[in-house]
Structure 1
Amino acid sequence: MTELLKQWNQLSLVKRIIIGLITGIILAITVPNVAKPISIFGSLFVGALKAVAPILVLFLVMSAISQHKKGQKTNMKSIIVLYLLGTFLAGLVAVVASFMFPVTLKLGAGAGIENLTPPRGVVEVLKSLLMNIVDNPVKALANANYIGILVWALLLGLALKNASESTKTMISNISDALSQVVKWVINFAPFGIMGLVFDTIATNGIKVLQDYVQLLFLLVGCMVFMALVVNPIITFISIRQNPYPLVLKCLKDSGITAFFTRSSAANIPVNMNLCGKLGLDKDTYSVSIPLGATINMSGAAITISVLTLAAVNTLGIKVDIGTALILSLLSAISACGASGVAGGSLLLVPLACSLFRIPNDVAMQVVGVGFIVGVIQDSCETALNSSTDVLFTAISEFAQWRKEGKKIVIPKK
C-alpha cells in the first residue's frame, strides 16, 4: 500500500485528474446506483476550495499591500486593461459567430427559474457591485463576496503599512499557512473531480442536451476560439514569442480544474498556485487573481451574447451592425457584474434581451434553456474565465520582463 501511494504521488496532478475523470465516467455509466456515495468526494472538494478561498484572498492581498514598498512596480493597470479588453472581444466574437451561424431555440416553460429575478438594467448591476463594496467584512467572508473581501483587504493592507515588522510578519505567516492548506486541498482534486463527474453524468445524463446541440456547438466554439485564437494573439502581441506554451499551460493547470468545479471563486487558490509556479510577483497576482474572478468574464460575455441573439433569431427580429456592436459592449459590461448577481451570467440574459424589447417572460424562457445546456456551457465558461485570469496576469509581467531583457521560460511541469 505504501509503495502504491508513493507511485500515485509521483504522477503529475494532471495525470491523476485524468485517472479520476475516467474512473468517474466509467462508474456513472456502469454502476450509478451502487457507486452513488462517491459523489460526496466532489462536494467535499468544491466545499473545501470555497471554504479556504475567501480567507486566503483576504490575507494574501492584505499581506501584499502592507509590505508593498514605495516605488515598487506592479502591473495592475495593464492587467485591468487586458481583463476589460478580453471581455469585450469575447462579446464581439460571440456576436460575429451568431451572425455567421444563427441558431433558434425551442422555447417552453423554464423549469426551475420561476423564483429567479433578473436585474432590470445596467444601473441595477452597478448598484449591486457598489453595495458589495461596502458589505460587512464578516458577511463578505461568509458569503464569498470577493468584491467586498478585496476592498477590505486593500483598506486593511494600506492601514497596516505603518505597522511594526512583527505584525507584518505574522500576517505573512498566516498567508503562507493558508497557501499550504490550499496545496493540500488541490492534492485531493483527482478524487473530487471523480465525484463531480460521476454526479453530473449520473444525475443529468447526456440525453438532456440533444435538443440543443447546435446552441452548445456555438457557445463552446466561441469559447474555444477565444482560448486558442484570440488569447494567443493578445499574448503574442504582449510577449513577442510563441504564445501557445503559456496558453496551454494555463488551460491545463487552471482550466481543467475550473471546468469541473464550475466556480471561478473556488479556482482562485489553484490560480494562485499556478502564478507561483510561473515565477510571477506575489504582490501583483495576490490582487489580480481575485480581481479577475470578479471582472474578467470572457465566457460570461459569450454566453450573454449568444443566448440573446438566439432569442432574437427565434423571434425573427432583424439586427443591424450598430445594434450588434452595442450588444457586444453591453454584454461585456454586464459580464463584469455577473459575480455580483445571483445566478451569474444566465440571469443577465434578460438585461441584454431588453435591448431588443424582448418580453421578460420570453427572456426568462431563454434563461431556462441556459440552465439546461449549463451542464456543459457553465463548465466551459468557467474554464475560459479562470485560465484567462492567470494568462493575462502572466503576460503583463512577462511583457515587462521582455523590456528588461529577461528570458521568459514556461515550466513544463
Structure 2
Amino acid sequence: MERFLKKWTESSLILKILIGLIIGAILGVAVPQWTFIGFPGELFVSALKAIAPILVFVLVISAISKAKSGIGDRFKTVIVLYLFSTFLSAMVAILFSTIFPVSIHLSGAANATAAPTGIAEVMSDMIKTIFTNPIDLISEGQYLGILFWSIVFGIALKIVASDTTKDVITDIANAVTKVVRGIIQCAPIGIMGLVFKSVSESGLAIFTQYGQLILLLVGCIAFVAFVTDPLISAVAIRRNPYPLVLTCLRESGLTAFFSRSSAANIPVNMQLCERLGLDRDFFSISIPLGATINMEGAAVTITVMTLAVCHTIGISVPLPVTIILCIISTAGACGASGIAGGSLLLIPMACSLFGISPDISMQAVAVGFIIGVIQDSCETALNSAGDALFSATAEYHDRMKKGEPMNFLGEFAK
C-alpha cells in the first residue's frame, strides 16, 4: 500500500485527472443507471467544503501576522501594482462574463436560495454575516466573515505575538495546506464521479459548457496579459512596455504554465530579474511577495466562476455589486493557497456575496478542477509573469523618478 501511495502521489496529477475525466464520461454514457459511481464525487466535494474554511482562516492569519513592515517606496510601488492589477483583472473578468455569459451544470441549482436584490440588502447581509461568532462562520462556511475575522486576528497577532507564536501559526497553516494537498490527490477519483454524474444527468452536452467556460477564462487571461498589464506598466515607466511584457511571458510565463506553481517558479523569476538588471536586494523580496499577493489569474478565475454560477441560477448582478465582487475577488486572490487549484477553493467566498449556499458553490469548485488542466496552467503563467513584470516596472519607475539610468531590459537589450 505504501508503495502504491508513493507512486500515486509522484505521478502526474494532470494525467490522472484527464484519465478520471475520460473514464467518468464513458461510464456516464455506457451505464448511467449505476449511480454509485458518482458517490466519490460527492465525497470529494464534501471534503473540499470541510477543509476550505479552515484553509482560508489560517492562511490569512499567517500571512498578515508575519508580514514585514518598514518597506521603502519601491516596495510600496510594487505592492500597489500587484493589488491594482489584480483588481483590474477581476474587472476584466466581469466585463467578459457580462458580454459572453456562460452557464454550468449544477445539481440543485433550480432550488438555490434567491440572492439579495439591491446594494443596500447586500451590504446589510454582509455586515450581519461578518459580525458573527467566528467558530460558527467556519463551521457554516461563511467566507466573508471568515476573511474579516482572520484579518482581525492576523493584525492582533502581528502586534502582540512573539516570533515563536507566529512560527506556530505558520506551521498550522502549512499543516492545513498539507491536508489540502492530500485531498487534491484524490481529485482524479472525485472528478470521475462528478463527470459521471453530470454526463448521466445531462449527456455529453456538458462538455460544450466546459469548453465555453475554458474559452472565457483563457480569453480574460490573455486580455490581461496583453492589454491591461502592458497599460499599467506603460503608465508607470512611460515607454513601450511590450518588449518587457513579452520577455516576462517568454522567460517566466512559459515555465510557470507547465509547473503550475508560482512558488516553484520563484528561482526562474529571480534569474530573470538578474538579467533585467534589477537590484538583488529588491527583487529577492518582491518576487516571493508577488508569488503570494500578485494573483491576477486567481482573480479572473474566482470572478468568472462566481458569475457562471450566478448566470446558471439566474441571478442578475447590478453594477454596484460588481465593484464589491471585484474587491472580494482581489482579497480572496491575494489569500489564495500556493497549491495547484488553490484559487478554486475561494470561489465560495465570492459566491456568498450573492447568498449562494456552499452546496452550490462547491460544485463550481469541482467544475474548476475538471477544467483545471488548462485553467490552472494559464492562471499560473499570468501570475508568475506578472511578478517579474511589476517588479521590473516598480524599479524602473523608481529609477526614473530619481533620474537614475533605467538599464531597460538589462542583458536582453544587448
Q: The TM-score by the shorter chain falls in which range?
A: 0.5 to 0.7
2:142 aligns with: 120
1:85 aligns with: 84
The residue type equivalent to 1:124 in the other structure is I
Matches within 5 A, 1:6-405: 75-108=74-107, 120-125=142-147, 135-136=166-167, 140=171, 143=174, 211-339=209-337, 344-403=342-401, 404-405=403-404
Unaligned runs of 5+ in 2: 1-14, 19-67, 109-138, 159-164, 178-187, 193-203
Unaligned runs of 5+ in 1: 1-24, 29-64, 110-116, 147-199
Change (3 A) 1:119 1:226: farther
Equivalent pair of 1:402/1:408 in contact (CA under 8 Å): no
SS in structure 1 of the partner of residue 317 of structure 2: coil
Equivalent pair of 2:86/2:299 in contact (CA under 8 Å): yes
- Distance in 2 of aligned mates of 1:372 and 1:344: 14
Equivalent pair of 2:292/2:335 in contact (CA under 8 Å): yes
1:174 aligns with: none
Most deviating of 390-399 and 99-108: 99-108
- Distance in 1 of aligned mates of 2:327 and 2:173: 33
Q: CA RMSD in A?
A: 3.7
- Distance in 2 of aligned mates of 1:219 and 1:309: 12
The residue type equivalent to 2:313 in the other structure is L
2:162 aligns with: none
Query: How many Å apart are 1:319 and its aligned residue?
Result: 1.2
Query: How many Å apart are 1:407 and its aligned residue?
Result: 4.4
SS in structure 2 of the partner of residue 107 of structure 1: coil
Change (3 A) 1:310 1:261: same
- Distance in 2 of aligned mates of 1:324 and 1:344: 23
Change (3 A) 1:343 1:233: closer
The residue type equivalent to 1:348 in the other structure is L
Equivalent pair of 1:91/1:298 in contact (CA under 8 Å): yes
Equivalent pair of 1:119/1:348 in contact (CA under 8 Å): no
Deviations, residues 47-78 of structure 1 (Å, cap 9, x unaligned): xxxxxxxxxxxxxxxxxx9xxxx9x9661010
- Distance in 1 of aligned mates of 2:293 and 2:72: 22
Equivalent pair of 1:118/1:347 in contact (CA under 8 Å): no
SS in structure 1 of the partner of residue 240 of structure 2: coil
The residue type equivalent to 1:121 in the other structure is Y
Deviations, residues 228-276 of structure 1 (Å, cap 9, x unaligned): 0001001111111111000011111111111111111111111111111
Change (3 A) 1:376 1:408: same
- Distance in 2 of aligned mates of 1:248 and 1:137: 41
Query: How many Å apart are 1:220 and its aligned residue?
Result: 0.7
- Distance in 1 of aligned mates of 2:412 and 2:140: 43
- Distance in 2 of aligned mates of 1:321 and 1:363: 22
Identity of aligned residues (%): 50
